[in-house]
Chains A and B, each alone.
Chain A
Amino acid sequence: MSVLGADFRRDQEIRRYPLLLYALLPLVALVLQAWLPRVLGNHVWFDLPLVVTVYFALGRRSPIQGTLMGAAMGLFEDALSHHAIGVNGIAKTVAGFLAASVGVRIDVENHVIRLVLNFLLSLLCSAIYVFVYRILLGMELEWRWFTALFTAVGNSLIAIVLFPLLDRLQIKD
Chain B
Amino acid sequence: MESFFIRYRNLLVLLAILLAQIVGLAVQVRHTDAGRNTLDPRDGPGVRLIRLWANALVSPPERLIHGSKLGIGGLWQNYIDLRHTREQNQELQKTIDRLRLEQALLLEDSRQGQRLQSLLDFQQKYIYKTVVAQAIGSSGSDQSRVFYIDKGSADGLDRDMAVMTPDGIVGKVRDVFPHSAQVLAINDQTSGAGVILETTRIRGILRGNAIGQPQIVGIVADQRIQPGEKVLTAGGDQIFPRGLPVGVVEKVVRDPDRDSFIDVIVKPAAHLDRLDEVLVVTATAPRFSPEEQQDLATSEALKGPEAAAIKEQKKASELMAEKLPGLTDPNAPASNPTVSPATGQPGQDQAKPATSPDQAAQKLLHPQHPDRFTPGAPAAVPADANVKSDAKPKPRQASATPAVGSTAARPAPKTAAKLPAATPQPSEPRRNP
Contact = CB atoms under 8 A, between A and B. Distances in A.
Interface stretch (B267-275, B306-314, B319-327, B373-381): B267-275
Contacts of B137: 31, 34-35, 38, 80
A54 B188 CA distance: 29
Interface residues of B, number: 57
A82 B140 contact: no
Given A38-B135, A42-B145, A71-B17, A82 B190 contact: yes
Interface string B51-77: 101110110011001100000000000
Contacts of B144: 80-83
A118 interface: no
A169 B25 CA distance: 37
Interface in B152-192: 174-175, 182, 184, 188-190
A33 B18 contact: no
B17 A79 contact: no
Interface in B61-108: 61-62, 65-66
A83 to B, nearest CB: 5
B38 A90 contact: no
A132 B13 CA distance: 20
Main secondary structure of the interface of B (DSSP, over half): mixed
Contact of A63 (B10, B135, B174): B10
Nearest to B191: A82
A93 B210 CA distance: 25
A84 B139 contact: no
A79 B28 contact: no
Interface string A127-158: 00100100011111111100100010000000
A90 B142 contact: no
B211 interface: yes
Interface residues of A, number: 51
A21 interface: no
Contact of A86 (B21, B36, B54): B21
B1 interface: no
Contact of A137 (B37, B147, B275): B37
A166 interface: no
B305 to A, nearest CB: 53
Given A38-B147, A79-B55, A82-B144, A93 B14 contact: yes
A124 B272 CA distance: 30
A83 B40 CA distance: 10
B146 A82 contact: yes
Contact of B25 (A79, A132, A143): A132
Contacts of B272: 42
> Interface of chain A, helix or strand or loop or mixed?
helix
A139 B18 contact: no
A79 B50 contact: yes
B18 A90 contact: yes
Nearest to B190: A82
Contacts of B147: 38
B209 interface: yes
Contacts of A48: 140
A80 B143 contact: no
Nearest to B182: A82
A79 B54 contact: yes
Nearest to B29: A137
A117 interface: no
B212 interface: yes
B138 interface: yes
Interface string A36-51: 1110011110001000
5 contacts: A34-B140, A41-B274, A42-B272, A64-B10, A93-B18
Given A30-B140, A81-B146, 14 more contacts: A27-B58, A34-B139, A42-B272, A42-B273, A43-B142, A44-B142, A64-B10, A71-B17, A84-B28, A85-B28, A94-B14, A94-B18, A141-B143, A143-B210
